[in-house]
Structure 1
Amino acid sequence: MRNPGGAARAAALVLAGSGEPDVLVRVHGEPLLTHAVRGLLDVGCMNRLVVAVPSRILGSCEAIVRELPGTGKRCRVIPGGADRAESLRLAYEAVRDEHYDAYLVHDAARPFVPPATVAAVAEAVFQGAGAVAPVLPVTDTVKLVDPAGVIVTTKDRAQLRTIQSPLGCTEGVLRDACARGVDLLSEPPGTVRTVAGHPNAIRLATPFDLAVAEALLLEERA
């Protein structure tokens, strides 16, 4: 819920893994981390950003964030953990003494989530949702196969969604996940409301994904 008599406050916890993609890889002349952090800064309610990155690139990521206008004391880059769940816990510990109405857990591998999508996630938490995530309908036909790889049945795609990030939640949900060592992006809590996702919020995990993202940016800026 919104703070009585005041504007709602949100914190973003941005997680960058040690595998693919490398957040230092450039798309349209800028590192993926630049795109990811800028997209969050463009959301008016984002008061705090904590970026957890692999220790080996900590200095480079700190320099990237410092170059972005509007970061100042709002954004902090910290060394991440051995896996995403540990990085989430470390990011939460960096802000646990502060209070925010919504916490947004974001995968740095999704650097092109539109600010409007991020804002919709935050707003749903401000309005009382315990957890919320952007999703897209599944358009492909999905088959269930047995251990031998033989098709068993067809899943009804009308009820299927692909989940994106950021995942928004209350502090209680975040604190519980960290206490249990759960990666919220892979294992969202039991009740998760949804908002409309966006095609640009794809996860960039392969060279093909990077090429698609490059083409999308060129088309949008043409």
Structure 2
Amino acid sequence: MHAVAIVAAAGSGSRLGADLPKALVPLAGRPLVAWAVEGLLAGGVAEVLVTVPQDQRAAFAAVLPPEVRLVGGGVTRTASVRAGLAALPADADADVVLVHDAARPLTPPDVVARVLAALAGGAAAVVPVLPVVDTTVLVDDAGRVADAPPRERLRRVQTPQGFDRSVLADAYAALAEDAEFTDDAAVVRAAGVPVATVAGDERAAKITVAHDLAVAEGQVAR
């Protein structure tokens, strides 16, 4: 099995209070995207493609290994993944594709390996998940609690998410141009493809605001 990973790294760093793309924000002296790529390769991915802001190619090339391919990303995450898929040659060796967020820099290689193992075992789509430990509620338009769904079956979804290449490509091809989803599992589910799960990891938390970055800095310093 030959796995290629698409890393979504075209987002801004505005919510982090940064004046550069989020993926280039340093964590312990190294950009988030460098940590994310390293974890994918250590977990068994053969090739990595990173979708980047069109005007920041040189900055990304300066911090990533030369074998990592850079592709201009889109305005949204969905558009960036579309661009990554389109950049894969039709005759490429890759038979499975992982999609990862550069904003999850400390995802352990073991999580990557579990996703790859599930794909090798026949899953068409697989995501790493964690249980929901807090009580979770639904609210109405006025902000009042309307329902509290049982948390036993609720899960928090992480990345990398893995797919049979043709399944992911077909699901995106069937997607309306203006459609937007928060992750790729939702795209394939919209195409009727069942999505399997494997165990995620708390260290794969997403960095969105400054507090998240501070927590990650503490993890690296341990």
Both proteins in one fold, TM over 0.5: yes
| Secondary structure, counterpart of 2:171 in structure 1 | helix
Name the structure 1 match of 2:35. 35
Letter in 1 for 2:106: F
Alignment partner of 1:86 out of 60, 79, 82: 79
| Secondary structure, counterpart of 1:149 in structure 2 | coil
Name the structure 1 match of 2:135. 141
Q: Are the equivalent residues in 2 in contact too, given 1:133–1:166 (CA < 8 A)?
A: yes
CA-to-aligned-CA distance 1:161-200 (integer Å, 9 cap, x gap): 0000011001122112321156572524221100000000
| Secondary structure, counterpart of 2:51 in structure 1 | strand
Give me the TM-score of the superposition, normalised by structure 2.
0.87
Instruction: State the alpha-carbon separation in 1 of the partners of residues 60 and 207 from structure 2.
Output: 18
Deviation at 1:39, TM superposition (A): 0.8
Name the structure 1 match of 2:19. none
Deviation at 1:85, TM superposition (A): 1.4
Which segments of 5 or more consecutive residues in structure 2 lack a partner in the other structure? 17-21
Alignment partner of 2:183 out of 182, 185, 191: 185
Instruction: State the alpha-carbon separation in 2 of the partners of residues 96 and 128 from structure 1.
Output: 23
| Secondary structure, counterpart of 2:36 in structure 1 | helix
Paired residues, number: 205
Alignment of structure 1 residues 115-130 onto 2, 5 Å? 115-130=109-124
Structure 1 stretches of at least 4 aligned residues deviating more than 3 Å after TM superposition: 181-184
Name the structure 1 match of 2:95. 101
CA-to-aligned-CA distance 1:131-164 (integer Å, 9 cap, x gap): 0000000000011111111112211000100000
Deviation at 1:77, TM superposition (A): 1.1
Instruction: State the alpha-carbon separation in 2 of the partners of residues 205 and 17 from structure 1.
Output: 14
Q: Are the equivalent residues in 1 in contact too, given 2:43–2:111 (CA < 8 A)?
A: no
Letter in 2 for 1:204: I
Identity between Structure 1 and Structure 2 (%): 39
State the Cα RMSD in Å: 1.6
Give me the TM-score of the superposition, normalised by structure 1.
0.87
Instruction: State the alpha-carbon separation in 2 of the partners of residues 177 and 212 from structure 1.
Output: 36
Deviation at 1:32, TM superposition (A): 0.6
Answering whether residue 25 of structure 2 is matched by residue 25 of structure 1, we say yes
Instruction: State the alpha-carbon separation in 2 of the partners of residues 89 and 53 from structure 1.
Output: 13
Instruction: State the alpha-carbon separation in 1 of the partners of residues 171 and 53 from structure 2.
Output: 21
Alignment of structure 1 residues 149-168 onto 2, 5 Å? 149-168=143-162
Summarize the Cα distance change of 1:184–1:172 in structure 2 as closer, same or farther, 3 Å threshold. Answer: farther
Alignment of structure 1 residues 49-64 onto 2, 5 Å? 49-64=48-63
Q: Which moved more, 1:201-210 or 1:179-188?
A: 179-188
Deviation at 1:19, TM superposition (A): 2.4
Instruction: State the alpha-carbon separation in 2 of the partners of residues 183 and 128 from structure 1.
Output: 25
Name the structure 1 match of 2:202. 199
Q: Which moved more, 1:49-58 or 1:18-27?
A: 18-27
Instruction: State the alpha-carbon separation in 2 of the partners of residues 43 and 18 from structure 1.
Output: 24
Instruction: State the alpha-carbon separation in 2 of the partners of residues 17 and 207 from structure 1.
Output: 18
Letter in 2 for 1:56: D
Letter in 2 for 1:54: P
Q: Which moved more, 1:48-57 or 1:159-168?
A: 48-57
Which segments of 5 or more consecutive residues in structure 1 lack a partner in the other structure? 1-7, 67-71
Q: Are the equivalent residues in 2 in contact too, given 1:146–1:152 (CA < 8 A)?
A: yes
